[in-house]
Amino acid sequence: MMKLMINGREVEVIADPATPLLWVVRDELGLTGAKYGCGQAVCGACLIFADGAPVRACVTPLSNVAGQKITTPEGLQGQVADAVRSAWEKHDVAQCGYCQPGQIMSAVALLTEKPAPTDAEIDDAMNSNICRCATYGRIRTAIKTASGMLKG
């Protein structure tokens, strides 16, 4: 049995410590915002925050995040997350939507660290989130809009 703090709630899970975090979050806890894409730390669909830092939950063993504050896409809160969600809606970013929770997690991580990123910084922060629908242009536009909202 392991105790985890997920989205502000303490939960107990019965799982092998080597189990990937993504399995526990989706299958044990029913939080299906983070997606299974490549399973090899390549696509970013499974991004989850551990103590505020993005981790690829498909390859992160449960034991690595014991005692850390886990945030899934469902648990995103705050000014940056609100701005990103609002900008995503405004620009109708999602196509099939599968990659979008991971994209939003990366955008929130970027704007939390750098509220006014340059184009190069946006590209750098987002280049390991793959979108098979190629929504990259709208993602970049939405990040700029969210940045504008944060500036005030």
Interface ranges with ligand FES (CB under 6 A): 36-39, 41-46, 56, 58, 94-100, 131-133, 135
User: Sheet containing 47-50: which strands, arranged edge to edge?
Assistant: 9-13, 2-6, 69-71, 47-50, 53-56
Question: Measured from the CB of residue 9, what is the shortest distance to ligand FES in angstroms?
Answer: 23
Between 115 and 141, CB nearer to ligand FES: 141
- Identify the CA nearest to 116 among candidates 144, 97, 78: 144
- Identify the CA nearest to 31 among candidates 87, 84, 105: 105
Between 37 and 73, CB nearer to ligand FES: 37
Question: Measured from the CB of residue 128, what is the shortest distance to ligand FES in angstroms?
Answer: 8
Question: Measured from the CB of residue 134, what is the shortest distance to ligand FES in angstroms?
Answer: 8
